[in-house]
Amino acid sequence: MAAGQRVCAVAEIGAEEAKRFTVDGIDVAVVRASDGSLHAVNDICSHEEVSLSDGFVEGCALECIGHGSAFDLVTGEPNVLPATAPVAVYALSVEDDSVWVDTATVLNSASLNS
């Protein structure tokens, strides 16, 4: 059985799309990168209180609509200023066509508050 919480079916996340889910009280953006891979990152931009799931997916990055910072979906690191701090990257797994996110497993060095 997958760890974490089931958030949706795989088919619910379209190509180059991000959707917000709340997992264990944390807002999480589940994102399908341009190559089709799925990722889970903290939904709140580390620069300002803006929802990243409202942003744009380009390649393997999610761009914030607030000020244009783009976050790498694998490392959580911002690729563009003004953000300088990473967002948390969470463990994501797929089991039986369902997407599971485990917010207790942070895959990078970001603070849980990012």
Residue 93, in any domain of the structure: yes
User: How many domains is the chain partitioned into structurally?
Assistant: 1
Q: Is the pLDDT at 42 greater than 70, yes or no?
A: yes
Mean pLDDT of 36-48: 96
pLDDT at 104: 95
For 56-89, the pLDDT digits (tens) are 999 999 999 999 999 999 999 999 899 999 999 9
Residue 113 lies in a domain: no
> What number of H helices and E strands is found in the chain?
0, 9
Assess whether pLDDT exceeds 90 at residue 1.
no
Is 83 among the domain residues? yes
Q: In this predicted structure, what is the pLDDT of residue 109?
A: 87
Distance (Å, whole) CA 89 – CA 103: 9
Domain assignment present for 26 = yes
* CATH classification of the domain holding 102: 2.102.10.10
Predicted confidence at residue 29, as pLDDT, reads 98
Range of the domain at 28: 5-106
* Buried b / exposed e along 22-35 (16+ C-beta atoms within 10 A): ebeebebbbbbbee
Judge whether 111 lies within some domain: no
In tens, the pLDDT along 18-33 reads 999 999 999 999 999 9
Is residue 76 included in any domain, yes or no? yes
What's the predicted TM-score (pTM) here?
0.93
